[in-house]
């Protein structure tokens, strides 16, 4: 089994095996082809490559890579993508595939970086003469079991009291709380527009990074329409309503666990 490297324009031919590998390994929503394809169009340079380990019998590893400088490669990861675009079959050690990947990359490749990998998805390898890992960030996460009532009753007394008091204060100010779940494709555009107005009222507007329907930042959220069309929703919740104005999008995740995210080089 060997690595093969293709120009990134060929990604459309590999969306089915890419999505199958992602679904079998971790099923990270933003690593699905329907999100990565527009990310490549908006934030890629066209010089990226698609690397695939395997063939007709399956692909235990796939990744999108870009050359950073002569001999140095790194996973495709614009700032809008939380993890580097690299997939690995469960049970496959990452250190066992890197040497072959280096040999397959164009030109003389001396190092490849797999940026911001989640050790809950790609097991962190031991450092060695040929592999080095770097801590990136720790993410606060929750593993949910049972019902919400079970979860909430297990929270601290002070937290439950403070939330109850804050909700009562909002009601006194005629600010009712309402959970508005967007579960149809037709409502996604309006939800993103609401969120964009909220982001544009803060510091992101000055940096040009606020989500809007007609800018590059809004491309990936708009793909939620496709997700909902496929019956995979609801995926976007709007958690607070004040006099008709929605505040605060919330992406619902089924499972969360506390973890550190790593760079693997």
Q: What are 126-183's pLDDT values in tens digits?
A: 999 999 999 998 887 777 788 989 989 999 999 999 999 998 998 888 887 777 777 7
The pTM assigned to this predicted structure is 0.73
Residues 6+ apart with CB under 8 A from 177: 167, 170, 240, 241
What's 3-131's CATH class? alpha beta
20-29 per-position pLDDT tens digit: 999 998 888 8
Cβ neighbour number for residue 195 with a 10 Å cutoff = 21
pLDDT digits (tens, 9 = 90+) for 230-258: 656 554 444 444 433 333 333 333 333 33
CA distance readout (Å), 116 to 12, 97, 111, 263: 25, 17, 16, 5
* Domain range summary for the chain, segments of one domain joined by +: 3-131, 148-251
CA dist 186 and 19 (Å) reads 25
195 CB-near residues (< 8 Å, 6+ apart): 211, 221, 238, 246, 249
CA-nearest of 202, 191, 171 to 246 is 191
61 in Cβ contact with 25 (< 8 Å): no
């Amino acid at each position: 089994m060997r690595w093969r490297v293709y120009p990134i324009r060929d990604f459309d031919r590999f969306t089915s095996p890419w999505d199958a590998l992602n679904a079998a390994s971790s099923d990270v929503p933003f690593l699905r082809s329907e999100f990565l394809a527009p990310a490549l169009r908006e934030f890629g340079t066209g010089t990226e490559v698609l690397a695939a380990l395997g063939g007709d019998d399956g692909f235990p590893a796939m990744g999108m890579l870009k050359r950073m400088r002569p001999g140095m490669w790194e996973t495709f990861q614009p700032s809008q993508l939380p993890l580097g675009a690299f997939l690995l079959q469960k049970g496959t050690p990452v250190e066992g595939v890197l040497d072959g990947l280096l040999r397959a990359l164009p030109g003389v490749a001396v190092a490849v970086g797999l940026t911001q990998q989640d050790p809950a998805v790609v097991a962190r390898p031991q450092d060695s003469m040929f592999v080095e890992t770097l801590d990136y960030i720790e993410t606060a996460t929750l593993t949910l079991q049972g019902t919400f009532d079970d979860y909430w009753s297990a929270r601290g007394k002070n937290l439950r009291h403070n939330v109850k008091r804050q909700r009562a204060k909002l009601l006194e100010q005629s600010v009712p709380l309402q959970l508005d779940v967007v579960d149809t494709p037709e409502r996604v555009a309006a939800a993103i527009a609401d969120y964009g107005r909220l982001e544009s009222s803060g510091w992101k507007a000055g940096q040009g990074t606020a989500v809007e329907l007609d800018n590059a930042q809004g491309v990936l959220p708009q793909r939620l329409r496709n997700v909902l069309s496929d019956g995979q929703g609801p995926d976007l919740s709007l958690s607070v309503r004040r006099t008709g104005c929605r505040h605060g999008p919330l992406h619902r995740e089924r499972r969360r666990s506390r973890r550190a995210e790593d760079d693997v080089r």
